[in-house]
Chains A and B, each alone.
Chain A
Amino acid sequence: MCDNCGCNVTDANRHLLENDEHHTIEVLENLLHENDIQADHNRAHFEDHGVFAVNIMSGPGSGKTSLLEATIHALPPGLRIAVIEGDLETENDAERIRRHGVPAIQITTGMACHLDAHMVHEALHELDLTGIDILFIENVGNLVCPASFDIGQHRNVLLLSVTEGDDKPAKYPIMFRAGDQVLITKTDLLPYIEEFSMARARASVRAVRGDMPIIELSSKNGNGMEQWIAWLVQSVAEQKIAA
């Protein structure tokens, strides 16, 4: 019996409907059901094209776009990438990516503080995934809610820049727990930010997820980039086997 088709109206309960009285109707339906269905559809689309999809999340300005720009140059030849950029406003980030010869679609969300599966689906209509190995989806810079919306990604990557403070994972545990990989970014600035303790940052991440892999890197001076690239290369290979 379900509440979807009226098959729950039976001789036994019809009187409840006919008598004008209070009654409880059980629903048990997830509020993000439609988003989740669309996300599964997106994921199937990625898998049909052999694409590994990564959702890049962080607070505003943690270095997501800079990381993607550095990644474009550090990836081994033969790995082809595309980018979907999410921002409240402006085409700036997509333009930054296109300057490096990589296809990029900008989603401007207007009011919404996160990407959802329908927005990503629309962007996919403009993006030819043929021959693409990795699709990066840069989410809206926001540490509150993007992780609540499945967009069809295979992995979540969370950035924490050293300028934000080492307690951000403790303040935004839901987002950091959703990560599959945490990157501590802008490490070239460490000498100038003595308040930031790498040990505290790592402990703060590990309190929300003890086995979280963490890479320290700088898109600016390239330190740590080889570990990040190795993670990507390995993830792409695993995804191709799984698909």
Chain B
Amino acid sequence: MHETAIVSGLMRILEQKAARNGVAHISSVLLKVGRLQAVEPQQLVACFEMFAEGTVADGAELVIYVVGVRGRCRACATEFDVPRFHFECPACAGSDIEVIQGQELYIESFEASSVSSVNNVKARADV
């Protein structure tokens, strides 16, 4: 279950960012996950729901944007969508393919639905 490792990284980042931005509650999180990452979206969501309980992201929706694999042929520079992990250039049949998309595994953004009053006071105080 490496989804737990990935989700604990996700929670760490969310809690840090939320604290720094004075966010009291997160309503949704947008993840970009490339198809070359061995990650099962459904398992990520289930795992996230568990980990988020009682945190700033409790009940937040995890939106996963799956990014397809794109390659660039090193021989002829053609760029193409890689079908079913078959890394062959459609133009020259070359097999030396650089992956230009599909390795993503990051948080794009999150939606903050409210801001903690403590932080509001601080923000006003240092104006």
| Chain A interface residues toward B at CB < 8 A | 3-6, 8-9, 11, 14, 17-18, 20, 22-35, 111-114, 116, 144-145, 147-149, 170, 173-175, 177, 206-211
**Residue pair A14, B6 in contact (C-beta under 8 Å):** no
CA distance A29 to B108 in the complex (A): 7
Please give the distance in Å from B28's CB to the nearest CB on chain A. 9
Q: Which residues of B contact A147 (CB under 8 A)?
A: 38
| Chain B interface residues toward A at CB < 8 A | 1-2, 4-6, 9-10, 12-13, 16-17, 20-23, 27, 31, 36-39, 85-88, 94-97, 105-115, 119-120, 123-124, 127
**Residue pair B114, A5 in contact (C-beta under 8 Å):** no
**Residue pair B105, A32 in contact (C-beta under 8 Å):** yes
CA distance A30 to B9 in the complex (A): 9
CA distance A15 to B112 in the complex (A): 14
CA distance A17 to B109 in the complex (A): 16
**Residue pair A27, B87 in contact (C-beta under 8 Å):** no
**Residue pair A17, B107 in contact (C-beta under 8 Å):** no
CA distance A32 to B12 in the complex (A): 11
Q: Which residues of A contact B9 (CB under 8 A)?
A: 31-35
Q: A11-B127, A22-B111, A208-B87 are in contact. List 19 more A-B contacts (CB 8 A).
A: A3-B21, A4-B20, A17-B119, A25-B110, A26-B109, A27-B13, A27-B110, A29-B107, A31-B107, A35-B5, A114-B5, A148-B37, A148-B38, A174-B85, A206-B95, A208-B85, A209-B87, A210-B94, A211-B96
**Residue pair B123, A17 in contact (C-beta under 8 Å):** yes
**Residue pair A6, B20 in contact (C-beta under 8 Å):** yes
**Residue pair A27, B112 in contact (C-beta under 8 Å):** no
Please give the distance in Å from B81's CB to the nearest CB on chain A. 15
Given contacts A23-B111, A24-B110, A149-B2, contact A210 B13 (CB under 8 A): no
Given contacts A34-B9, A116-B5, contact A25 B85 (CB under 8 A): no
Nearest-neighbor residue (CB-CB) of A31 within chain B: B9
Q: Which residues of B contact A20 (CB under 8 A)?
A: 114-115
**Partner of B85 from A28, A177, A210 at Cβ < 8 Å:** A177
**Partner of A148 from B1, B2, B21 at Cβ < 8 Å:** B2
**Residue pair A17, B105 in contact (C-beta under 8 Å):** no
Q: Which residues of A contact B105 (CB under 8 A)?
A: 30-32, 148
